[in-house]
Chain A
Amino acid sequence: MTLLPALPILLPLCGAVFCMLLRTHLAAQKGVALLFSVLVLGASIGLLAQTRDGSVAVMNVGNWAAPYGITLAADMFSCVMLVLSGLLAVSVFIYACFDLDTERIRFGFFPLSLILLMGVNGAFVTGDLFNLYVWFEVLLTASFILLALGGEQPQLEGSIKYVTLNLLSSALFLAGIGILYGMAGTLNMAELAHVVQQGDRGGLVTMVAVMFMMAFGIKAGMFPLYFWLPASYPTPPAAVTALFSGLLTKVGAYSMIRVFTLIFITDPDFLHVLILTGAGLTMVSGVLAAAAQYEMRKILAVHIVSQIGYVIMGLGLFTPLALTGTIIYLIHIIIVKTNLFLVAGAIRRIKGTYDLHELGGLYKERPGLSVLFIISAMSLAGVPPLSGFFAKFTLILAGLNRGAWVIVAVALGVSLLTLYSMVKIWTYVFWKPAPEPLPDRITASGGKWLAFLSPMIAFTLLAVGLGIFAGPVFDYAQTAADQLMNSDAYIQAVLGGG
């Protein structure tokens, strides 16, 4: 037994504790937060390397053998998500060091973000449903405070909607856990998979599955449960929104993928078709809502909904190829979407606004920033040879193989509308001449500016790299998807001693 699966949880906790001890030393807090996020990333990469061959890293907390104790189990899919969350934390922390106001840092942005990271990583590695609930609460509580931090009126109003719906989703999740425990007598995911697939319990399993779908659907932002998202995500500063968009909805999607590939696979004709329908409606409603917006940050935030549709589409199709597509899409979307939020935040930092009508002429003024934006935007829309193209291509190929023509048509149409939204931002912010010239609020040049831009440059290179090296990425995602589809290895690894 090794400690490695627990490190992505323990390291952020240590970091948060140190940050809280250094409450008044803001510069030291920045350093500690950066150091620990790099350590988390390192531990996640170590875990990724360990599970590369398709093994599952299992750790029984306190040496209580599964299914009696709490099990941490990291398979390839978990590890990929861990690495992405670590990467995201590092880059958002670099960004926040420059952009976030001192007031928010003084009130604990860094310790809260580290706690959020701990909750997210915990959700990625846990092998126990109740433990998953606890990690959800950890990350939710941290996110509640991060969202309200600063106390501006839109933030508070957005927080109320966010808090209410997420608490309702937690209550549903908890109720589902209770019924599942009464039915199966265990909450260890591997044992649950085993028990649920054995006996014929008829509609009860499906009913519990729908409760889980609702609970995770609210957290992931799935149609028709996403209304808290456009109300709350665009309200906090760009650093917080980038962190949320990359981590929170993705945890919901991850959990949904986990339980609907491991436990609730008894009734795919109903459940996965329901998910697929939800996916299609999610894509369409998200992209249409985004098309109506004229504020950069809002367009991007509402677009998260439509991206979640693509992620869930792969789960709904429920074939190895479709899940491969889902995993590639998750990698792609976390990198690209975060980058778009960071670039939007950088524009706001120079010009002081997100409004498409007020901005303009940035292509002339800031060609470098424009390149960073356009590469990510085109990748989001799915233009080859960038990362989004291969993710969408895999998903659509999987749809065609299954003969699911409707969802393929919807996915392609939504892609086109995504392109419309991105081109809208491009034309308004970068191409059109500024209606009245906005003076730069800061001197945006020199080494410090370059350091500020470094996470965006890294993400842009990653988006290009994912497209160029699509082969190895595809192979990895395919192995991870096979592991998800054939859960026997996971069950064996957890229950067969650790």
Chain B
Amino acid sequence: MEIVLAIVVGTLYGCGLYLMMRRNLVQLIIGLALISHGANLLIFTAGGLRQGGAPILAEGDAAFAQIPADPLPQALILTAIVISFAVTAFALVLFLRTYQTVGTDDVDQLKETDT
């Protein structure tokens, strides 16, 4: 299973970086989104893909009956998803405003600040 996910993560990163290097603003933001998905999946994979019970102790128990699954990677990913959702939403608005102001979605034309 790790192998499959590793390939998926690699593909997501590869596609994301390829899209980011295109000249189109929309492709740029899809690329960014793919990379953040890749990072999330990487945390999930690196955190260990073990099957196990819920990591909740019943009252009075001193130890887990079976080795529980690690809940932390999911918690981290959840936080990261929320953050990347907000940031992507902002980036979309920013790109739209830029398109309206500059009148192009070609990244190579954004040369106002280059001297």
B28 A164 Cβ-Cβ under 8 A: yes
Residue of B32, B45, B94, B110 near A144 (CB, 8 A) is B94
A133 to B87 alpha-carbon distance, docked (Å): 14
Q: Which residues of B contact A (CB under 8 A)?
A: 20, 25, 28, 32, 35-36, 38-40, 42-48, 72-73, 76, 79-80, 83, 86-87, 90-91, 94-95, 97-98, 101-102, 107, 110-115
B101 A151 Cβ-Cβ under 8 A: yes
Interface size class of A (residues with CB under 8 A): 35 or more
* 8 A Cβ contacts from A138-163 to B: 140-141, 144-145, 148, 151, 153-154, 156-161, 163
A148 to B86 alpha-carbon distance, docked (Å): 16
Q: Which residues of A contact B72 (CB under 8 A)?
A: 181
A163 to B86 alpha-carbon distance, docked (Å): 13
Q: Is A69 an interface residue (CB 8 A)?
A: no
> With contacts A144-B87, A231-B113 known, what are 19 further pairs, Cβ within 8 A?
A137-B83, A148-B94, A156-B98, A156-B102, A160-B107, A163-B90, A164-B20, A167-B35, A170-B36, A171-B36, A175-B38, A175-B39, A177-B76, A178-B42, A178-B76, A179-B42, A181-B43, A181-B73, A182-B47
Q: List 25 A-B contacts (CB under 8 A).
A: A130-B76, A153-B112, A154-B113, A157-B110, A158-B113, A159-B98, A160-B95, A160-B98, A160-B110, A161-B113, A163-B90, A164-B28, A167-B35, A167-B87, A168-B35, A171-B39, A172-B39, A174-B43, A178-B73, A178-B76, A181-B43, A181-B46, A182-B45, A182-B47, A232-B113
A402-435, CB under 8 A of B: which get 1 and which 0?
0000000000000000000000000000000000
Closest beta carbon of chain A to B57's beta carbon, Å: 14
Closest beta carbon of chain A to B59's beta carbon, Å: 19
Q: Which residues of A contact B (CB under 8 A)?
A: 130, 133-134, 137, 140-141, 144-145, 148, 151, 153-154, 156-161, 163-164, 167-168, 170-172, 174-175, 177-179, 181-183, 230-232, 234-235, 293, 298
